[in-house]
């Protein structure tokens, strides 16, 4: 699955992204169908600190739709996200970047931030090993040698595109690091707190509303948090125990605040914790051995420094190898 490959790459470079997700198109089935991989994948995106946003239900050109069909495109996706996460996004991007005064007003009624972009490498037009260099050149012409102090972009790519995922992404992440930029979500770029990125069903604006409302997640009463515990948040908990762990517990340790921390339901540390002397690799949340001092990630997903770890089958994406 291409999206898993992206998530692993983002983990390696401590990069964050906003995923604009359609509900059902391209024959993938509905994202809230438990018999598909999408619910687990979307929850993984949130656990890794990425932002989830709407790209409508079935990728229709909004400017061609009646009000009722437009409404369905947005509400159906809200229902699907609520099924998966217990809440749904306040950010969206119109398919084909097609919107106008009428659809902008309708989206405002539903409480959405409408997102566009100002950097597009057009990877979807160059999806072959020979052509993807054109996208790399667009990137280099825009980013290479620029200063983070005076430059920032809202950058778009498409994860169904093979060369974008398996070739261009790594190229861009290396460039971002080399030029001292930081890859962040749209919400982070706007300095909008994660609590504003989503709404619970109960806090959804009425059809006559003209502004968005922040989610009203309840404070935890028993130390549990997250969508599986009534949407309870750890924010405001005493003694610095304001992080919501991937397993739904409030606390302040690295286990709570590091890898898998849920930013919607508490505070999180930006830098994922390195792998402990233990498991590593794609099957273990993208955990790496490099920073832990244990060096190599074996074929079976264990950190260590012996020839069994560092030799044949060693996973170079998650540690050093001989």
pLDDT, tens digit (0-9, with 9 covering 90-100), for 257-290: 877 677 778 877 654 444 344 677 766 656 677 5
Bridge partner residues of 198 (DSSP): 89
Which of the pair, 286 or 292, is modelled with greater confidence?
286
pLDDT for position 202: 60
Four-CA torsion 257, 259, 262, 264, nearest 10 degrees: 80
Does pLDDT of 1 surpass 60? no
Task: Work out the pLDDT band at 187, boundaries 50, 70, 90.
Answer: very high
Task: Work out the pLDDT band at 233, boundaries 50, 70, 90.
Answer: confident
Does pLDDT of 198 surpass 50? yes
Identify which of 298, 291, 225 has the alpha carbon closest to the alpha carbon of residue 260.
225
Q: Classify residue 322 as exposed, middle or buried by CB count within 10 Å of its CB (0-12, 13-18, 19+).
A: exposed
Q: What is the DSSP letter of 224?
A: B
pLDDT for position 134: 97
- Segment 246-257 shows an average pLDDT of 83
Q: For helices 169-178 and 2-13, what crossing angle results, to 10°?
A: 10
SS3 content of the chain, % helix, strand, coil (to 5): 40, 10, 50
Q: Please state, rounded to an integer, the average pLDDT across all residues of the chain.
A: 85
- Segment 147-154 shows an average pLDDT of 95
Does pLDDT of 11 surpass 60? yes
Q: 297, 309 in Cβ contact below 8 A? A: yes
What CA–CA distances, in Å, run from 189 to 5, 118, 299? 24, 13, 38
Tokens 């709570």 locate to: 256
| Confidence (pTM) | 0.68
Does pLDDT of 163 surpass 90? yes
CA 303 – CA 278 distance, rounded (Å): 5
**Joined tokens for residue 229:** 């515990």
Q: 232, 242 in Cβ contact below 8 A? A: no
CA 152 – CA 189 distance, rounded (Å): 9
Its sign, for the CA torsion 209, 112, 54, 95, is positive
pLDDT for position 316: 78
pLDDT, tens digit (0-9, with 9 covering 90-100), for 164-185: 999 999 999 999 999 999 999 9
Identify which of 316, 64, 77, 109 has the alpha carbon closest to the alpha carbon of residue 208.
109
Q: What is the DSSP letter of 281?
A: B
């Amino acid at each position: 699955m291409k999206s898993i490959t992206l998530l692993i790459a983002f983990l390696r470079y401590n990069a964050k992204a906003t995923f604009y997700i359609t509900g059902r198109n391209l024959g993938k089935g509905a994202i809230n169908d438990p018999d598909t991989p999408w619910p687990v994948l979307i929850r993984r995106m949130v656990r890794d600190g990425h932002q989830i946003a709407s790209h409508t239900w079935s990728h229709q050109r909004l400017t061609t739709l009646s009000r009722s069909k437009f409404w369905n495109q947005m509400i159906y996706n809200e229902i699907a996200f609520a099924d998966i996460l217990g809440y749904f996004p306040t950010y969206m991007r119109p398919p084909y970047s097609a919107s106008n005064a009428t659809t902008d007003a309708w989206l405002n009624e539903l409480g959405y931030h409408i997102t566009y972009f100002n950097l597009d490498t057009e990877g979807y037009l160059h999806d072959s090993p020979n052509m993807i260099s054109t996208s790399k050149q667009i990137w280099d012409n825009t980013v290479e040698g620029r200063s983070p102090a005076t430059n920032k972009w809202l950058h778009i790519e498409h994860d169904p595109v093979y060369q974008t995922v398996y070739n261009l992404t790594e190229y861009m992440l290396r460039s971002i690091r080399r030029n001292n930029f930081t890859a962040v979500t749209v919400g982070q770029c706007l300095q909008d707190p994660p609590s504003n990125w989503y709404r619970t069903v109960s806090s959804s604006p009425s059809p006559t509303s003209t502004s968005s409302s922040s989610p009203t997640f309840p404070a935890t009463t028993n130390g549990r948090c997250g969508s599986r515990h009534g949407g309870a948040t750890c924010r405001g908990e005493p003694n610095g125990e304001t992080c919501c762990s991937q397993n739904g517990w409030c606390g302040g340790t690295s286990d709570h605040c590091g890898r898998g921390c849920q930013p919607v339901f508490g505070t999180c540390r930006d830098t994922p914790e390195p792998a402990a002397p233990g498991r590593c690799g794609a099957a273990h949340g993208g955990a790496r051995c490099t920073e832990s001092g244990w060096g190599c990630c074996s074929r079976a997903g264990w950190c260590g420094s012996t020839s069994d770890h560092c030799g044949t089958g060693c996973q170079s994406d998650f540690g050093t190898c001989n």
